[in-house]
Structure 1
Amino acid sequence: MNKKISDAFANGKAFIPFITCGNPSLDITEQLVYACEEAGADLIELGIPFSDPTAEGPVIQAANMRALAGGATTDRIFAMVERIRQKTDIPMVFMTYANVVFSYGKGTEDFIRKAAEIGMNGLILPDVPFEEKEEFDIPCKKYGLDLISLIAPTSHERIKMIAKEANGFVYCVSSLGVTGTRTEITTDIGAMVKMVKEAKDVPCAVGFGISTPEQAKNMAAQSDGAIVGSAIVKLCAAYGAECVPKVKEYVKSMKDAVREN
């Protein structure tokens, strides 16, 4: 296991914010990383924008379009991470799509090698099914990145199979469908987490649909941490260049709620 990612879960329940790189700008994204860490975030997911983000709801889709229109290329995002790594060693993972990885340089290995060189700790690819992960997993293992597995509520019979090969942490998808805030989460997260733990002692963090401190507290009570994306991306859209203090305040409220477990 990549020590950095395990560190995120070493001091109780983890709070993991998701940020779309380049929304509203890469300069602001860099400031958001520092602000999230100061507010108590344990690990940060950086989304590399893609033109067809199939797992995302309208909020993050729109953020992807704004970021791409603003010139948030993979190389510029890599350069931003290099700057961030001069100031902080907070665990960070990229979340993006297979096509972004395939199309970088000479292909998958180029992307993964570069991500490892600049100090990233893991990679999440929501459009790559478990059965097709090997072409990403092999270079990830070679360069020391954790390829993070996602487990959905529908895949009960597959949960243990996926969990056995999981690295870093398992991303438990709380709701069917795409990312986005929800008024209530009805999935039996506790049962999903139990199945994972029976297969492998690996941290489980819950994402998709969490937006309020109460939801974060509830999800973290049944797992090892909560992941929030759309609610943060909404703040970035609403406040633009002025979003950093708003996001910092929100992340602090979420981390405080998670800590109550």
Structure 2
Amino acid sequence: MAEFFTHRGAPGAGLALFLNAGDPPLDVFEDLVLMLDEEGVDCLELAVPFPDSVTDGPVIRRSATRALERGVDLEDVLAFIARVRPRLRRLRIALLADWSHSLKGRDLDGAVKDIAGSGADGLLVHALPPRLRTSYYAAARAAGLPVVTTCYRQSPEPTMAEAGAEASAYLYLVAHYGRSGTAPVAGHAALQETVTALRAHTTSPIAVGFGVRNRDDVEAVHAAGADAVIIGSAGVARIETALTEGRDVVGDFRSFVRSLQPVRATAPDRTGSCQ
């Protein structure tokens, strides 16, 4: 089984980025993914684009629209993963697929097997009907495909317990109710109690998303005891700006990724001179 966050507990470790497959176009997107691997990003949460998401803010919704206008669907995304996965040294890919748009009407066992066969390291199914959870978990186990589960800070105890028990890739703790791109009023550091409570239910990594925009937010999430941060809207907005302004998408996004990393201390001057 893939280890999604290989340096759990280390300062600055545990970085996942959300992107819609096909935004930018898949040929540029391939270079973008290879760059993420070079920069030491742990996980790409790769969404099969779908319309009208009620949990996403305007930045991610516009991104999904651009990708859908390019005709990107589940088959394209699985082919993309199969093509790029053998070239990755560190980066893990967790596929995010919306139930209604990408999976409904397909044989669930077959779809999960196809996703596993593409080389995806994990799967998060968005808006899966509760009546199908047991079947989905069983299909994922049979296919050897780790599962990403989700819960909110305000989720009731049984929901947290199920999310913890079934998380075999990582548990995505959504920082608060609302749409992507918005942050909890009390700040991410206030999630410490929730993270601690979830530890009683899982040995898998706990990753926190929603409203994480910059290095300060990343540090606050790690201070709360989480193993990783998930950044979506802030990164997608950088891509949107680069596309709109005709800039180098990969270069701009590399700078964004580096801006999230911890500041490295300057090496001491060993010459004996005073600066």
Taking structure 2 as the reference length, the TM-score comes to 0.85
RMSD of aligned Cα (Å): 2.3
Native 8 Å contact 2:175 2:183 kept in 1: no
User: Does 2:238 correspond to 1:239?
Assistant: no
Counterpart amino acid of residue 239 in structure 1: A
Matches of 1:214 and 1:64, distance apart in 2: 27
Native 8 Å contact 1:216 1:257 kept in 2: no
1:169 counterpart residue number: 170
After superposition, residues 80-119 of structure 1 pair within 5 angstroms as 80-89=80-89, 90-103=91-104, 106-119=106-119
Matches of 1:216 and 1:82, distance apart in 2: 30
Instruction: Indicate the structure (1 or 2) with the bigger Cα radius of gyration.
Output: 2
Of 227-236 and 79-88, deviating more is 79-88
Native 8 Å contact 2:123 2:147 kept in 1: yes
Shift of residue 175, structure 1, vs aligned partner = 1.9
Structure 1 residues 180 and 228, CA, compared in 2 at 3 Å: closer, same or farther?
A: same
1:218 counterpart residue number: 220
Structure 1 residues 8 and 97, CA, compared in 2 at 3 Å: closer, same or farther?
A: farther
User: How many residues are treated as equivalent by the alignment?
Assistant: 256
Matches of 1:161 and 1:46, distance apart in 2: 24
List gaps (5 residues or longer) in structure 1.
none
Structure 1 residues 257 and 92, CA, compared in 2 at 3 Å: closer, same or farther?
A: farther
After superposition, residues 4-153 of structure 1 pair within 5 angstroms as 4-5=3-4, 7=6, 9=8, 13-89=13-89, 90-103=91-104, 106-128=106-128, 132-153=132-153
Counterpart amino acid of residue 98 in structure 1: W
Shift of residue 10, structure 1, vs aligned partner = 8.0
Native 8 Å contact 1:16 1:44 kept in 2: yes
Counterpart amino acid of residue 232 in structure 2: G
Structure 1 residues 212 and 168, CA, compared in 2 at 3 Å: closer, same or farther?
A: same
2:196 counterpart residue number: 194
1:33-53 deviation per Cα after TM superposition (whole angstroms, max 9, x unaligned):
111122220111111101232
1:129-154 deviation per Cα after TM superposition (whole angstroms, max 9, x unaligned):
66642232111111111121111011
Of 181-190 and 218-227, deviating more is 181-190
User: Does 2:250 correspond to 1:249?
Assistant: no
Matches of 1:70 and 1:43, distance apart in 2: 24
What's the secondary structure of 1:78's corresponding residue? helix
Structure 1 residues 8 and 22, CA, compared in 2 at 3 Å: closer, same or farther?
A: farther
Higher helix share: 1
Shift of residue 65, structure 1, vs aligned partner = 0.8
Structure 1 residues 83 and 11, CA, compared in 2 at 3 Å: closer, same or farther?
A: farther
Counterpart amino acid of residue 224 in structure 1: D
Shift of residue 179, structure 1, vs aligned partner = 0.7
What's the secondary structure of 1:205's corresponding residue? strand
What's the secondary structure of 1:149's corresponding residue? strand
Taking structure 1 as the reference length, the TM-score comes to 0.89
List gaps (5 residues or longer) in structure 2.
265-275
Matches of 1:248 and 1:209, distance apart in 2: 20
What's the secondary structure of 2:261's corresponding residue? helix
Using the aligned pairs only, state the percent identity. Answer: 23
Counterpart amino acid of residue 157 in structure 1: E
Matches of 1:92 and 1:257, distance apart in 2: 26
What's the secondary structure of 2:229's corresponding residue? strand
What's the secondary structure of 1:237's corresponding residue? helix
